[in-house]
């Protein structure tokens, strides 16, 4: 069922099954503001192995040389290997591990595998009921975001993402959710988080990866919601803990390479870490940490290597800009990963303001929280916001939550984490139209050239090349 979302009629009540969440994912606002005044309060990380954890060892060559793992095993236990990009995760077993390994031949860098908060915890605003399979109810009337990007027109033109494979690097997925049953490749889905499966624990709750997956490819099944590319194949790769939203840098890199090695057409990463090149980051507990500045450069280099590998293998890589209202223009020391890296399409967030009561709603206002910058943002997409009346969820993005048969939850949530999957979904539409394989450069060009210019013809700090348009992307 498709309803006209431009009418001025106020939606009264809310269908059973909607859970309302405030989820403005990303780093805390302005972590590094007035840094000079708080350096004395920063905790200096003990370099004994990433808070007692592991090290990343990166070779000069972009693939692990023969015999290299055996050589390194003399200094530590090999925890995991990413041979395609010349990276090892090692638990030291010898004193002065970093210095000893750095002196070996063919070593680019050795640095702690820091754990960071990549998505923020969630706050619940309210909860009502549940929707059961068999109710045959549709929540399309709440999906202003699909109207904003002209997704229904793309579907009506025959483009639904069939033939495209989208990898979702996130905090897992509810693999049993009926919204994903036609599209989720469970055999390829995987977890790089020790002790956690890619399929999240049972129960009814908000899960970041499940919500993101619903925006990309919830099925067209006359039930619940629908994704931008409802016939695209999706693969869930858990790189963050479903309990905390935190993760090691190596988990992200492993997930990127895994996706590239398994036929990813699109990789969506609704996640981000903000670093200061002078040697600061905020850890998983929200504590400002001071580390050697060289570590920041080494972290950036290692993740850029993973991104470049996936790009060369044919993957379009899409990431959220972040929710700290940071202007990344000006060449300062702050960088966002992975959004600030080359070969990544970085997505800012748009939102309406009280669209359900507006005679002519504007869906393209910059979200109040979105990070921005002409040098940073490539494109914009709906992320939702909470600037309307307190407790009103309708300006947020509605998508899937977890559940147990036959009862499943749906949530309103907001953030650039919700904007990125809209662009990933449109990329899948483009790729599906072209038979399932396209050069990522051509996909990126199509996305940017067909985006709607919201505030002029140039590059906007808020919208980049414009707000993504699904219909134009598959018809122009």
Model pLDDT for residues 463-476, shown as the tens digit of each residue: 999 999 999 999 99
CA-to-CA distance for 144 and 137, rounded, in angstroms?
17
355 plus 222 within the same structural domain:
yes
The last residue of one of the domains, among 89, 113, 137, is: 113
**What's this model's pTM, rounded to 2 decimal places?**
0.91
Residue 7 predicted with pLDDT over 60: no
User: How many domains is the chain partitioned into structurally?
Assistant: 2
Annotated active-site residue in 246, 417, 420, 460: 417
- For residues 377 and 44, the model is more confident at 377
pLDDT at 31: 56
126 plus 77 within the same structural domain:
no
Active site residue 208: yes
pLDDT, averaged across the chain? 86
The residue segments making up the domain with residue 180 are 18-32+117-475
Kindly write down the DSSP assignment for every residue of 11-36, as one continuous string: P-S--TTEEEEE---SSPTTTTTTGG
416: in domain? yes
How many Å is the maximal CA-CA distance in the chain? 70
268-287 average pLDDT score: 92
pLDDT at 32: 57
Q: Domain with 275 in it: what CATH number? A: 3.40.50.200
Model pLDDT for residues 102-111, shown as the tens digit of each residue: 999 899 999 9
The confidence band for 391, taking pLDDT boundaries of 50, 70 and 90, is low
322: in domain? yes
429 plus 457 within the same structural domain:
yes
Q: Domain with 106 in it: what CATH number? A: 3.30.70.80
54-74 average pLDDT score: 96
189 plus 271 within the same structural domain:
yes
pLDDT at 40: 39
Q: What percent of the chain has pLDDT over 70?
A: 85
Residue 153, classified by CB atoms within 10 Å of its CB into exposed (0-12), middle (13-18) or buried (19+), is middle
Residue 15, classified by CB atoms within 10 Å of its CB into exposed (0-12), middle (13-18) or buried (19+), is middle
Annotated active-site residue in 113, 170, 248, 265: 170
455-461 average pLDDT score: 87
68 plus 143 within the same structural domain:
no
Residue 134 predicted with pLDDT over 90: no
54 plus 203 within the same structural domain:
no
The confidence band for 33, taking pLDDT boundaries of 50, 70 and 90, is low
90 plus 195 within the same structural domain:
no
273 plus 325 within the same structural domain:
yes
What is the 3 state secondary structure string of the chain? Answer: CCCCCCCCCCCCCCCCCEEEEECCCCCCCCCCCCHHHCHHHCEECCCCCCCCCCEEEEECCCCCCCCHHHHHCCCEEEEEEEHHHCEEEEEECCCCHHHHHHCCCCEEEEEECCEEECCCCCEEEEECCCEECCCCCECHHHCHHHHHCCHHHHHHCCCCCCCCEEEEEECCECCCCCCCCCCECCCCCEECCCCCCCECCCCCCCCHHHHHHHHHHCCCCCCECCCCCCCCEEEEEECCCCCCCEEEHHHHHHHHHHHHHCCCCEEEECCCEEEECCCEEEECCCCEEECCHHHHHHHHHHHHHHHHHHHHCCCEEEEECCCCCCECCCCCCEEEECCCCCCCEEEEEEECCCHHHCCCCCCCEECCCCCECCCCCCEEEECCCCCCCCCCCCCCEEEEEEEECCEEEEEEECCHHHHHHHHHHHHHHHHHHCCCCCCHHHHHHHHHHCCECCCCCCCECCCECCECCHHHHHHC
206 plus 330 within the same structural domain:
yes
pLDDT at 188: 98
pLDDT at 37: 38
94 plus 167 within the same structural domain:
no
333-356 average pLDDT score: 95
Active site residue 265: no
6: in domain? no
Annotated active-site residue in 113, 130, 191, 208: 208
Model pLDDT for residues 279-328, shown as the tens digit of each residue: 999 888 888 899 999 999 999 999 999 999 999 999 999 999 999 999 99
Q: Which residue has the tokens 């699904």?
A: 470
pLDDT at 57: 98
400-413 average pLDDT score: 86
Residue 401 predicted with pLDDT over 70: yes
363 plus 440 within the same structural domain:
yes
* SS3 (DSSP) at 246: strand
Active site residue 417: yes
225 plus 333 within the same structural domain:
yes
209-220 average pLDDT score: 96
């Amino acid at each position: 069922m498709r309803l006209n979302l431009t009418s001025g009629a106020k939606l009264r009540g809310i269908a059973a099954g909607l859970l309302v969440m405030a989820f403005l994912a990303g780093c805390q606002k302005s972590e590094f503001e007035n840094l000079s005044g708080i350096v004395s309060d920063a905790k200096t990380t003990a370099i004994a192995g990433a808070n007692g954890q592991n090290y990343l060892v990166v070779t000069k060559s972009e693939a692990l040389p023969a015999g290299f793992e055996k050589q390194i095993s003399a200094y530590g236990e090999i925890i995991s290997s990413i041979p395609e990009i010349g990276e090892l995760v090692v638990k030291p077993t010898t004193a002065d591990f970093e210095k000893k390994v750095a002196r070996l031949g063919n070593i680019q860098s050795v640095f702690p595998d820091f754990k960071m908060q990549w998505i923020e915890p969630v706050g619940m605003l309210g909860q009502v009921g549940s929707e059961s399979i068999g109710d045959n109810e549709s929540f399309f009337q709440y999906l202003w975001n699909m109207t904003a990007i002209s997704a229904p027109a793309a579907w009506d033109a025959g483009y639904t993402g069939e033939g495209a494979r989208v990898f979702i690097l996130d905090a897992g997925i509810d693999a049993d959710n009926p919204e994903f049953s036609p599209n989720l490749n469970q055999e390829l889905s995987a977890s790089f988080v020790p002790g956690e499966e890619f399929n999240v624990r049972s129960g009814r709750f908000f899960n970041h990866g499940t919500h993101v997956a619903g925006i990309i490819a919830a099925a067209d099944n006359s039930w619940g919601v629908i994704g931008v590319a409802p016939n695209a194949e999706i693969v869930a790769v858990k790189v963050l803990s479903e309990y905390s939203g935190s993760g090691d840098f190596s988990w992200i890199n492993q997930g990127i390479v895994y996706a590239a090695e398994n036929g990813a057409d699109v990789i969506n990463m609704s996640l981000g870490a903000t670093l200061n090149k002078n040697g600061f980051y905020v850890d998983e507990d929200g504590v400002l940490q001071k580390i050697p500045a060289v570590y920041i450069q080494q972290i950036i280099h290692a993740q850029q290597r993973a991104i470049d590998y996936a790009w060369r293998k044919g993957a379009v890589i899409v990431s959220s800009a972040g929710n700290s209202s940071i202007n990344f223009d000006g060449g300062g020391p702050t960088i966002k990963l992975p959004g600030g890296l080359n070969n990544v399409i970085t997505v800012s967030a748009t939102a309406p303001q009280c669209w359900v009561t507006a005679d002519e709603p504007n869906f393209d206002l910059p979200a109040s929280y979105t990070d921005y910058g002409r040098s940073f943002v490539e494109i914009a997409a709906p992320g939702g916001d909470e600037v309307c009346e307190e407790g009103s969820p309708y300006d947020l993005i509605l998508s899937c939550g977890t559940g147990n048969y036959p009862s499943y939850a749906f949530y309103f949530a907001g953030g650039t984490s919700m904007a990125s999957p809209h662009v990933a979904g449109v990329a899948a539409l483009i790729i599906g139209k072209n038979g399932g394989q396209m050069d990522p450069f051509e996909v990126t060009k199509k996305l940017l050239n067909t985006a709607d210019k919201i505030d002029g013809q140039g590059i906007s700090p808020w919208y980049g090349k414009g707000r993504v348009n699904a219909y134009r992307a598959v018809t122009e």
